Amino acid sequence: MSDTVAAKPLPRTSFLRGLRLSRHRGLLIAIAVFAALFLFADLISPGPISYFEVSYLSSGGATLAIAAVGETFVILSGGFDLSAGAVISLVNVVLASNYAMGDPDAGLFFWTLVGIGIGTITGAFNGFFVAFLRLQPIVVTLSTMFIVQGVTLLIMDKPGGFVAPSLGIYVGDAITEWLPMPIVLLGVVILFWLWLKGTRFGTAIYAVGSDPDAARSAGVRSSWVLFFVYVLAGGFYGLAGTFISGQTGSADPLIGNPMLLQIFAAVVVGGTVLGGGRGGPVGSIFGAYILMMVVNILLVLNVSAYYSTIAEGLILILAVLAASVSSDSTLARQLRDARSRISAWRGGRLPGQIGTAVHRLSLAAREAGAKSSSPLPAFRVRHAETLRYALPAYICFVVVIVVTQAVLGNAAFNWTYYNSLIVLSSFLAILALGQGTVILTGGLDLSVPWTIALCGILLAGMVKGSDAALIYALPIVLVVGCLIGIVNGLGIVFLGLSPIVMTLATNGILQGLALIYSGGTPDGFSSPMLRAFMTSKIFGITPVVFFIAAFVVFAVVLLGRTPFGRRVYGIGNGLRVAELSGIRTGRTLVLVYMLSGLCAALVGILLTGFSGQASLGMGDEYLLPSIAVVVVGGALITGGRGHYLGMLGGVLLLTGLQTLLAGTTLPYATRAILFGLVVLGAVIALRDRRS
């Protein structure tokens, strides 16, 4: 009887079928959700869906779908690419500004090649630093994003231009009565992927994304694979920029900026797993159209467009959670770990409990041997590593001062110059503590821009020029910043979301909340007291200078002399090791992101006082600088190394550069380019040689 049962092939067939379904679960879910949304849109529309609506839907989501395909390749290889939206903007302005100077009769093929070529060049730039210099993709692509944005603004600083009419075929033509050109284009993309997936290069992408070390051991030339992944991704961003150029007929230098959150959301909704090794571009295409249909449905239901970024952020979070639902998901591990910790606590077996007696014995031994021990090494020896990575920022700052003196005359030897320099540095000095602490743990906070903006808008809206209102407005805004950080921390710790995904989604949600609260036009203005705190002078010194001096002392003590600071460095040097050492990593990480949110809220308050009012997007220009000052100051982007005094040196250096540029005739866009180049140079010079 047992032999007969064993001979049946059904169990193995069912197992293989289930394995295949599990492998494509994300794609199947994306297709099912798309079909459900399509049917729902048909139900709420006044009549049956026509060809016009199908054409509108296909063309409206094609740019996002093509860009998401490029991002998918990068994520499959285990990386991130934050420069996608900037590349789309660059291609758009290049095509629109060069049409009149080029060949007006050039056809679709020529202009498409131009767009793809621009994207591949940018991708090769990213790929070189990521693949061959082994820099972190986050820092490289973030720097590239700002460099490309600066180049875009140099080419065209406001909407305008004219795109070749031949590009209109992408959105204006159809192959058959029910087959618009965008669908044909996406069909070609899918066929290209199906071919590529069967090649050695396609297999290598999955291998490198799943386990880079194992791929190298198997003979895969992972460096070249990564390089061509970024080149390929850049080509798709270029194609997306070409498509949107044909769609709009003109250029906008900021057209790609809001697409970054949407691109990541489309990739994740389509079933591609962050970290690499599983997923595919086909799911990302469906993910892009899911996002578009959600926004369209909200508009049909008369829901304000301000809710779109909130919906995209929530969809991104929910998609990541849905992709991780399994027996080995982070939530399941959290529950198992909680039960284990409770049992260990009852038995006195926690690392912290076990280590208490050992710690006391080590303290006693140190005290007993203190009298006979040799004197402490010199300061230079004790802090050799900190000095090595922090001093270059101060040396470069001195060089900037000398150049400023040569360019602007006696300004660099005037106290007014230094007072203004400290005032302008105050915003980054505060952000350096929050963002720097996050980076020391190996994370990144991309919610800084709209945390600053939302908190500034809330303060101006509550104060409305009243000093008395500051009594309750300041605590409320600071609490809001802390709550934003707590939400980020809880999502990262207890939901297991990537810091980039969680904070990027939070940034989009905060943008929507700011638009809803302000109605798209922030009102109110700073109180006279806050304005005087940021701009008046007492004996030639602005009051905020005294505050920053106290803040620097607080930051140095917090990171260098407290148990919290030691736990931060412990987590950055190894999360698992920190857990085994008895560090409550979850609670510490939540506090780290709460500190970052608090610092961003404080900057929003000070910026409102400095400018006299709050504005939408007032925090956008502080994202890269908040990361740049930390990296330039000698901190390791992967965590575990850095000192606040080094970060402060990075603040002074970049603010000094900004002041120097402001005194020249160089255009504003060069600041973003310079920041990006400075960050790349700092990461190359200060990178860990062991990596």
Q: Which of 188, 210, 224 has its CA nearest to residue 276?
A: 210
Residues 6 or more apart from 554 whose CB is under 8 A from it?
none
pLDDT tier for residue 356 given thresholds of 50, 70 and 90:
very low
Return d(Cα 677, Cα 98) in angstroms, integer: 26
Residue with the larger pLDDT of the pair 552 and 46: 552
Return d(Cα 328, Cα 335) in angstroms, integer: 11
CA angle, residues 4, 7, 13, in degrees to nearest 5: 135
pLDDT of 371? 47
Q: Is the pLDDT of residue 210 over 50?
A: yes
Q: Is the pLDDT of residue 646 over 60?
A: yes
Cα-Cα end-to-end distance for the chain: 59
- Which of 467-483 are b and which e, b meaning 16 or more Cβ less than 10 Å from the residue's Cβ? eeebeebbeebbebbbe
pLDDT of 259? 87
pLDDT tier for residue 688 given thresholds of 50, 70 and 90:
low
Mean pLDDT of 19-41: 77
Is the separation of the CB atoms in 142 and 672 below 8 Å?
A: no
Return d(Cα 84, Cα 417) in angstroms, integer: 39
Residues of the chain with CATH 1.10.3470: 25-323, 385-686
Q: Is the pLDDT of residue 651 over 80?
A: yes
pLDDT tier for residue 16 given thresholds of 50, 70 and 90:
very low
Q: Is the pLDDT of residue 375 over 70?
A: no
Q: Is the pLDDT of residue 553 over 90?
A: yes
pLDDT tier for residue 687 given thresholds of 50, 70 and 90:
low
Least confident of 85-89, 182-186, 271-275: 271-275
Q: Is the pLDDT of residue 358 over 50?
A: no
Q: Is the pLDDT of residue 19 over 50?
A: no
Q: Which of 133, 137, 149 has its CA nearest to residue 209?
A: 137
pLDDT of 538? 86
Say how many C-beta atoms besides its own lie within 10 A of residue 440's C-beta.
27
**What does the mean pLDDT of the chain come to?**
81
pLDDT of 177? 61
pLDDT of 23? 65
Architecture of domain 385-686: Orthogonal Bundle (1.10)
Q: Is the pLDDT of residue 150 over 60?
A: yes
CATH fold of the domain at 25-323: ABC transporter involved in vitamin B12 uptake, BtuC (1.10.3470)
Show the tokens assigned to 314. Answer: 């929530």
Mean pLDDT of 292-307: 81
Is the separation of the CB atoms in 291 and 68 below 8 Å?
A: no
pLDDT per residue over 483-511, tens digit each? 999 999 999 988 888 888 889 889 989 99
Show the tokens assigned to 532. Answer: 């005087």
Rg value, the chain, Cα? 27
CA angle, residues 142, 146, 150, in degrees to nearest 5: 165
Residues belonging to the chain: 691
pLDDT tier for residue 55 given thresholds of 50, 70 and 90:
confident
Which helix or strand (DSSP H or E) is residue 140 part of?
helix 137-155
Q: 561: buried, middle or exposed (CB in 10 Å: 19+, 13-18, 0-12)?
A: exposed
pLDDT of 351? 47
CA distances in angstroms from 466 to 394, 462, 530, 611, 618, listed in the order given: 40, 9, 10, 16, 22
Is the separation of the CB atoms in 640 and 442 below 8 Å?
A: yes
For the chain, percent of residues with pLDDT exceeding 90: 30
Q: Is the pLDDT of residue 52 over 80?
A: no
Is the separation of the CB atoms in 41 and 297 below 8 Å?
A: yes
DSSP 273: P
pLDDT of 4? 41
Is the separation of the CB atoms in 333 and 339 below 8 Å?
A: no
Q: Which of 270, 298, 314 has its CA nearest to residue 34?
A: 270
CA 207 to chain centre: 25
pLDDT per residue over 527-541, tens digit each? 899 999 998 888 888
Mean pLDDT is highest, among 328-337, 460-469, 593-602, for: 593-602
Show the tokens assigned to 243. Answer: 């498509």
DSSP 50: -
pLDDT of 276? 78
Is the separation of the CB atoms in 591 and 564 below 8 Å?
A: yes
Partnered with residue 174 across adjacent β-strands are 180
Handedness of CA 509, 510, 511, 512 (dihedral sign): positive
Mean pLDDT of 661-686: 75
Q: Which of 655, 240, 638, 181 has its CA nearest to residue 429?
A: 655
Which helix or strand (DSSP H or E) is residue 180 part of?
strand 179-180
Q: Which of 57, 11, 188 has its CA nearest to residue 112?
A: 188
3-class DSSP state of 174: strand
Mean pLDDT of 626-646: 84
Which stretches of 78-107 are DSSP H helices?
A: 84-98
Is the separation of the CB atoms in 447 and 309 below 8 Å?
A: no
Show the tokens assigned to 687. Answer: 């990178």
Q: Which of 394, 447, 411 has its CA nearest to residue 594?
A: 447
Mean pLDDT of 76-90: 91
Residues of the chain by 3-state class (helix, strand, coil), percent to 5: 75, 0, 25
Q: 413: buried, middle or exposed (CB in 10 Å: 19+, 13-18, 0-12)?
A: exposed
E strands, 127-210, are 174-176, 179-180
Which stretches of 371-383 are DSSP H helices?
A: 379-382
pLDDT of 363? 45
Amino acid at 208: V
pLDDT tier for residue 631 given thresholds of 50, 70 and 90:
confident
pLDDT tier for residue 556 given thresholds of 50, 70 and 90:
very high
Q: Is the pLDDT of residue 7 over 60?
A: no
pLDDT per residue over 424-468, tens digit each? 999 999 999 999 999 999 888 989 999 999 999 999 989 988 888
Return d(Cα 347, Cα 270) in angstroms, integer: 45
Q: What is the pTM of this model?
A: 0.79
pLDDT of 686? 67
Mean pLDDT of 329-343: 55
Amino acid at 463: V
